[in-house]
Amino acid sequence: MTELTIRMYDVGFGDCFLLTFGKGDEARHVLFDCGSISVGAKQVTSVAEHVIESCRGADGRSRIELLVCTHRHRDHVGGFSDPRWDKVEVGEVWMPWTEDPDDKLATKIRTRQSGFAATLADALNVPGASLDRDPLTSERSVGGRARTTMLAIALNALTNEKAMQTLHSGFSGKPPRHFLPVKDNPCEARTLASLSGINFHILGPPRDEDAIASMDPPKGGAYIARAAAGNSAPVPENCAFRPKWRLDRAEFDRRHPQTTFSAGDQKQIDVLAEEPEGTVAAAIDRAVNNTSLIILIEAGNQWLLFPGDAQWGSWNSAMSNDQCRSLMKRTTFYKVGHHGSENATPKTAVEDVFKDGLISFFSTASIKQWPNVPRAPLVDAIAKKGKIARSDDEAIGKAAGFVVQTGLYTEWTIDTGV
Amino acid sequence: MNGPPPVAQGPAPSPLPEIPRPVWRPLKIYPTDPTQGYASALKTSINVEYERLTPGPVGERLEVVDYDGYSKCFYEAVNLDQDEILIQGGLEPSESDPRFHQQMVYAVASRTLANFDRALGRRVSLRKGSKNTRLRLFPHAFNGRNAFYDHDLHGVLFGYFQADMDDPGPNMPGQTVYTCLSHDIIAHEMTHAVVDRLRRYFLEPSNVDVLAFHEGFSDLVALFQHFSFRDLLSQEIRRSRSDLRKPTLLVQLARQFGFATGEGKSLRSAIDKPDAKLLSSVIEPHDRGAILVAAVFDGFFETYSNRIRDLIQIATGGSGELPRGELQPALANRVAAEAAATAQRQLDMCIRAFDYLPPVDVTFGDYLRALVTADFEINPADELDQRAALIEGFRRRGIYPVGVTSLAEQSLRWPAAENIPNLKDQLGDLLPKLLKIEADRFTQRSTDPRVEGLSKEHFDSIEEIDEPGHRKTVYAELRAALLRYAKSNAAALYLRSDLPIFVSGFNAVFRTATNGRLLIELVAQFVQTDPEGQVDALLGGVAVKGGTTIIVSVDGTVRYAITKPLPGPHLPGTMGQEAQQRVQTQSQFVAELDARDPFVPYMSKKQFDNRMKARMALRSLHSGLWP
């Protein structure tokens, strides 16, 4: 099975990559993620359907040897809430160590992350509206672009119960679950019996203290929760002091005729006291992204790097490990991190780690309010290394010689030499 | 009939001597915060400069406004001039009475301000804008685990929050914690406000050290002020057996806040494990600032140890070996006196260095040079080896100024200015006028009530004159004269003659040197903005700036020109290259932050173009949301 096909489905702002080793009856499949936040559930379902059909063997059964969930963001796992997955036979499911239900620290991190996301989403959402909706396609009646962005980020980080249930206990064939990397075994090379000759090098997420700190949602949860609640939040009776101490503006003015504290100043304080900052939502985004499983697949002469949405802290940790770094230097194919955003592909990786001739796939979408995704200078820098394909602009991949199924996927087939 | 007996009519009596005005107002505070320590919460009384106050308290420079943006209401304001309160020396510390909170915020803020006045040798102006707004202090501005100084609002906002439910430390779970009852938080935020007045561009993160300097310096002031609380100091010195490097309350910062937010320890500490490699990897301003704090404290501990060595020898019959157990109280008091004096001297030194800093783009290395130069000017002999100890503290943490050949004191001092024309010719009779005004503002108020009116806060500092709508004659004239001077001597001052020059500060300072003489100096700051910088995309809205601080002696001789110039052909020697390098460093720093900032992908164009401006906000910096 020397032939390898890497297929990037067009799921908008999301990821779904199907790898096929060998062809015909020999074909073996590996799937990385399936989800989106920018396209409707219908389109994600049809992609999931297509994946399942593509993995159907001669016996009529759909089988995937290895299913990798890089991290629990909706734009990576949302597609697994579909009931069709129950019938799909899966060999093994790999998830980041933070998903391990028996690991106390992992559980603590997950609880904090989902608690934070839920609080933020509750605070930003329209009262009464469902939280189980498409973060970016839903109606924009929540009050302003900034708020829409924060809500989208929060919804993306909410626990995707159904999808996570599938990943943890679904599929047919009772696949074992592995939570990686295994403790005290950084850079482990794993193999699967059904995929002989293929090595999976597990480069992340790291387990060191700094990295774990970067998976923590921001401090000051109470403030953020309350601050995000806005005007409608009920004021607890004794919040700072009992009511007997309180005065209204008129009484204050009467007692302090010389004050420099104007009505404008007062308004400014109200804003500072209540309005959550975009950075708050971004912090939870990073926290979850940094749990991303980073895998480098070695198949003959090909080295395929799938970093999930790992961000600076996690990358930095992998690149400062000599063994990981020297492996990364061999990369021939790169699944661009986090839809091509600035902070998910370090400049040093592009400049000092990746070599020329690199093939890079961007699974991304042009979202009007996020003009920095994908980040133009990063796209240019990566394009300079070799060939690229973009799910949001199929013509680029086509021109570079990749096979494009319009509106569905872009794929690259290569002989790995084994 | 009841009532007082009628007063006898007769010739008017000769006037009785009037009651002297007080110099100080005693006020009670928590010297650290309301956390229950070894026994009950510590309390202390401090003296703050006496001024007439209206309810708030509202004084000449500070205005406490107890508005709560969360509950949308004001709280009853304290009147510290009320008889009952005056007689008790201020309200008793209480967590449940907002009037005590207002008192504590005012007291600690005043104390911090006084430390600046004293060390800088002038009265720091806090008035701002056309309405002459005082610095506002908001003890309960919002519900949240944060407190910050806001430049636009010209105020300090303190939050209150509920202590962590799982890990509240010595607090009750869910107990309300008020950041305005923490001495350290008040002093820290107050220092931000004062520093912003002294150097308005030090909030612009043009290199990795700028905001870290703001944070570290604010921590330094808060920590050194601990040593002025004599009861706390004696207690901690007894417990630690005079070893100040032990983790006592003295060297820990914001203990209650740290525990209440589930950290399980104080927010920060003055003690570190010196590591010269940290400087190249730590970016977060508080963490990086902590390196500066530890460097300065290292010097302080060294000087303090030298100063108490003889005391310990005397007390131990020459052996220097202390007996086991707590220090005996008499010795502890003498040691405490030394510690307090050393701390005050070190704090003065830290603040005084401000006048010797460039007006823009400060680095830790610049600060070391400023510390050494400023202290040399006032105390050339350095009998206690205080400067040497300080330099060693910086060296151990790898802080080396750019462009110096060694860490010897002579090479660390800023070079003496050469060939810069005398300022006197340009200013003419404005100089004596300025001196008179600033001297008047700085002079100790008379205790004689009859002269009270003469020493009132009439004048703003020159910092104000740039505000629109402000035209105070002497200052306006001074500003014009300084501009003329800077324009006609642009090259000598390392300024570009083709760009507008902005006078961002001008002060006269009065200091007493160790030999007892009065040292009078004038300090002016000139600033320029590079109009060609790619401010939007590359620099995130914070333009490249250049500027020069000049130190002028009272006869008009320019003694130092401390500069961070804009690149250009006007610069001699290697300065042009260095200036070019500075511009590159700034854009690299922006790129480095972008790479770490998870918000970058979600920024709109406008947010992206102004991202460095957003990163300047102490609000998000203090809530731990910095990239």
A111/B contact by beta carbon, under 8 A: no
Confidence band for B2, pLDDT divided at 50, 70 and 90:
low
Please say if the pLDDT value at position A219 is more than 60: no
Please say if the pLDDT value at position B38 is more than 60: no
Question: How many angstroms away from the CA of B242 is the closest CA of chain A?
Answer: 35
- Residue in chain B closest to A375 (alpha carbons) equals B601
Please say if the pLDDT value at position B470 is more than 90: no
Q: Which of A108, A153, A245 to mutate to test the interface with B (most CBs of B within 10 A)?
A: A245
With a CB cutoff of 8 Å and minimum separation 6, the contacts of B623 are A218, A219, A220, A223, B144, B145, B146
A359-373, B266-280, B570-584: which has the minimum mean pLDDT? B266-280
Q: What is the mean pLDDT of residues B58-84?
A: 94
Q: What is the mean pLDDT of residues B5-22?
A: 73
How far apart CA B192 and CA B150 sit, in angstroms, is 9
Please say if the pLDDT value at position B500 is more than 90: yes
Q: pLDDT tens across B124-146, in order? A: 888 887 777 899 999 999 888 88
State the alpha helices, DSSP H only, in B501-604. Answer: 575-596
- CB contact under 8 Å between A282 and B599, yes or no, is yes
Question: How many angstroms away from the CA of A95 is the closest CA of chain B?
Answer: 23
Q: What distances in angstroms separate CA B257 from CA B221, B269, B339, one per listed residue?
A: 18, 13, 26
* Complex confidence, ipTM: 0.88
- Residue in chain B closest to A260 (alpha carbons) equals B133
Task: Give me the pLDDT at residue A224, please.
Answer: 46
Task: Give me the pLDDT at residue B516, please.
Answer: 82
The mean of the pLDDT values for chain B is 87
Query: Of the candidates B288, B281, B271, which has an alpha carbon nearest to the alpha carbon of residue B362?
Result: B288
The mean of the pLDDT values for chain A is 88
Confidence band for B465, pLDDT divided at 50, 70 and 90:
very low
Cβ-based contacts of B152 with chain A (< 8 Å):
268
- CB contact under 8 Å between B623 and A241, yes or no, is no
Cβ-based contacts of A277 with chain B (< 8 Å):
619-620, 625
How far apart CA A192 and CA A190 sit, in angstroms, is 7
- CB contact under 8 Å between A269 and B604, yes or no, is no
Between B529 and B457, the more confident residue is B529
With a CB cutoff of 8 Å and minimum separation 6, the contacts of A237 are A243
Place of tokens 């309180």: A246
Q: What is the mean pLDDT of residues B337-358?
A: 95
A273/B contact by beta carbon, under 8 A: yes
Sheet hosting strand A14-21, strand order edge to edge: A177-180, A89-96, A63-68, A28-36, A14-21, A3-9, A409-415, A403-405
B555/A contact by beta carbon, under 8 A: no
Question: How many angstroms away from the CA of A64 is the closest CA of chain B?
Answer: 33
Q: pLDDT tens across B502-526, in order? A: 998 888 888 888 788 888 888 999 9
Q: C-alpha angle with apex B17: B11 to B19, nearest 5 degrees?
A: 135
Please say if the pLDDT value at position B36 is more than 70: no
Q: What is the mean pLDDT of residues B162-166?
A: 75
Task: Give me the pLDDT at residue A162, please.
Answer: 92
3-state helix, strand, coil in chain B (%, to 5): 40, 15, 45
- Residue in chain B closest to A234 (alpha carbons) equals B71
Domain boundaries, chain B: 58-198, 222-412, 424-596
- CB contact under 8 Å between A247 and B619, yes or no, is no
Task: Give me the pLDDT at residue B457, please.
Answer: 46
Confidence band for B459, pLDDT divided at 50, 70 and 90:
very low
Q: Name the residue among B68, B145, B624 with its Cβ closest to that of A240.
A: B68
Task: Give me the pLDDT at residue B445, please.
Answer: 64
Task: Provide the terminal-to-terminal Cα distance of chain A, rounded to the nearest Å.
Answer: 7
- CB contact under 8 Å between A240 and B591, yes or no, is no
Task: Give me the pLDDT at residue A225, please.
Answer: 43
The C-alpha R_g of chain A, in whole angstroms, comes to 24
Q: pLDDT tens across A26-84, in order? A: 899 999 999 998 888 888 999 999 999 999 999 999 999 999 999 999 999 999 999 99
Determine contact, residues A62/A88, Cβ cutoff 8 Å: yes
- CB contact under 8 Å between B143 and A222, yes or no, is yes
Under DSSP, is residue B535 helix (H, G, I), strand (E, B) or coil? coil
- CB contact under 8 Å between A273 and B605, yes or no, is no
- Residue in chain B closest to A340 (alpha carbons) equals B601
Task: Give me the pLDDT at residue A409, please.
Answer: 97
Determine contact, residues A353/A329, Cβ cutoff 8 Å: yes
Task: Give me the pLDDT at residue B324, please.
Answer: 83
- CB contact under 8 Å between B623 and A373, yes or no, is no
Please say if the pLDDT value at position B589 is more than 90: yes
Q: What is the mean pLDDT of residues A17-29?
A: 94
- Residue in chain A closest to B538 (alpha carbons) equals A377
B333/A contact by beta carbon, under 8 A: no
Cβ-based contacts of A259 with chain B (< 8 Å):
58, 63, 65
Q: Which of residues 375-394 of A touch B (CB under 8 A)?
A: 375
Q: Which of residues 234-253 of A touch B (CB under 8 A)?
A: 235, 239-241, 245-249, 251-252
Query: Of the candidates B63, B37, B39, B59, which has an alpha carbon nearest to the alpha carbon of residue B49?
Result: B59
Q: Which of residues 278-337 of A touch B (CB under 8 A)?
A: 278-283, 285-286, 289, 311-313
Q: What is the mean pLDDT of residues A324-329?
A: 96
How far apart CA B418 and CA B291 sit, in angstroms, is 34
Q: What is the mean pLDDT of residues A258-283?
A: 84
Cβ-based contacts of B619 with chain A (< 8 Å):
272, 277
**DSSP assignment letter at B141:** E
Q: pLDDT tens across B192-229, in order? A: 999 999 999 999 999 999 999 999 999 999 999 999 99
Please say if the pLDDT value at position A124 is more than 90: no
Q: What is the mean pLDDT of residues A392-416?
A: 96
Determine contact, residues A296/B184, Cβ cutoff 8 Å: no
Confidence band for B263, pLDDT divided at 50, 70 and 90:
confident
Classify strands B44-49 and B24-29 as parallel, antiparallel or unpaired.
antiparallel
Four-way CATH pick for B58-198: 3.30.310, 1.10.287, 3.10.170, 1.10.10: 3.10.170
Q: What is the mean pLDDT of residues A1-11?
A: 92
Between B14 and A175, the more confident residue is A175
Task: Give me the pLDDT at residue B35, please.
Answer: 80
Q: pLDDT tens across A205-217, in order? A: 998 887 888 887 7
HEC readout, B167-229: CCCCCCCCCEEEHHHCHHHHHHHHHHHHHHHHCCCCCCCCCCCHHHHHHHHHHHHHHHHHCCC
Q: What is the mean pLDDT of residues B561-584?
A: 93
- CB contact under 8 Å between B157 and A272, yes or no, is yes
CATH topology of domain B222-412: Neutral Protease; domain 2 (1.10.390)
B613/A contact by beta carbon, under 8 A: no
Place of tokens 């007892």: B516
Longest dimension (CA), chain B: 94
Task: Give me the pLDDT at residue A227, please.
Answer: 39
- Percent residues over pLDDT 90 in chain B: 54
Task: Provide the terminal-to-terminal Cα distance of chain B, rounded to the nearest Å.
Answer: 79
Confidence band for B496, pLDDT divided at 50, 70 and 90:
very high
B74/A contact by beta carbon, under 8 A: yes
Q: pLDDT tens across B421-457, in order? A: 998 888 777 878 777 777 777 776 666 666 554 444 4
- CB contact under 8 Å between A239 and B134, yes or no, is no
Confidence band for B3, pLDDT divided at 50, 70 and 90:
low
Task: Give me the pLDDT at residue B510, please.
Answer: 87
Cβ-based contacts of A274 with chain B (< 8 Å):
69-70, 142
Task: Give me the pLDDT at residue A136, please.
Answer: 67
Confidence band for B153, pLDDT divided at 50, 70 and 90:
very high
Q: pLDDT tens across B236-255, in order? A: 898 888 888 888 888 888 88
- Percent residues over pLDDT 70 in chain B: 92
Task: Give me the pLDDT at residue B473, please.
Answer: 63
